[in-house]
Amino acid sequence: MMKETVIRWDRGMALGYEVEFYNAILVFAQAPRGFVMCGYLNMAAAEKLGDIAAVVRGVSNIDELFAAKVEEISTAAAKIGVKVGMTGKEALEKMM
């Protein structure tokens, strides 16, 4: 099952996704310029493709993704001001 959530801010809109697999839930949020993803997804692939991306871990829904601390970022994310240690929400706001 997949759940989609529309996230609205003054600066724009993002989409949040929760996808249930057999052993885990894939959680990510996509803004116009990049995305915040759970540890289920691969930062090496995002880096290779030049994506603006940040990783949070240990989350099972969008609310947890927003509150969790960013543990890893792509080079492109660093260039727009995303930093390790900020919340997923703060990182996503930089990607608007």
Report how far residue 75's alpha carbon sits from residue 65's, in angstroms, rounded to the nearest whole number: 20
* Cα angle value 87/36/83 (rounded, 5°): 45
* CATH assignment of the domain containing 9: 3.30.1980.10
Dihedral over Cα of 77, 53, 33, 35: its sign: negative
pLDDT of residue 89: 95
Domain of 12, in residue numbers: 2-94
Strands 35-38 and 12-20: unpaired
Looking at residue 19, what is its pLDDT?
Answer: 97
Per-residue pLDDT of the chain (96 residues), as tens digits, is: 899 999 998 888 999 999 999 999 999 999 999 999 999 888 999 999 999 999 999 999 999 999 999 999 999 999 999 999 999 999 999 999
The pLDDT of residue 38 is 94
- Residue 11: the pLDDT is 84
* Alpha-helix residue ranges (DSSP H) falling in the chain: 43-49, 62-67, 75-79, 88-94
Domain count, the chain: 1
Q: Do 53 and 73 touch, CB atoms closer than 8 A? A: yes
